Structure 1
């Protein structure tokens, strides 16, 4: 069941992307493999998550602030 659901989710993403390209008469532009990892919002979220994980492990994180 999980594989079919994942396949439908990926197909849905593709259909939505195609709809936007056709509606806006835009060409496909690959954002690159590291687009979301290098996005500033994602970097901050990752820092916050890692600090929370350290806190959960009992590490003193009072001096750590997400940049």
Structure 2
């Protein structure tokens, strides 16, 4: 399968935590991917730390699962620095090929890497 995005992250957003799974090429290798998973809080300071961490990882593209209202603060903080894709949770479950032991953030990153996600509409602020 073709790789469309090489530096991406899947974000599984919950009420009190955001699980980030960064998927980047293996350093100093021509083949393979490195997945780095980290959990952050949802307070503004935590989300700014998340943004800084993603920048240090070289992330360009991010996919967020749209569950309830919890995605909004994450989206608002990250939209200035990253190309964001808000994705319907039902769409993610419908994509075939998911391994049972892969968490949602890692699965989002994998689908984003291959361009297999459909963006939800996010109305402009104002």
TM-score, normalised via structure 2 length: 0.19
Larger radius of gyration: 1
Higher relative contact order (CA 8 A, sep 6+): 2
What TM-score comes out, normalization by structure 1 length?
Answer: 0.30
Per residue, is there more strand in 1 or in 2? 2
Greater per-residue helix proportion: 1
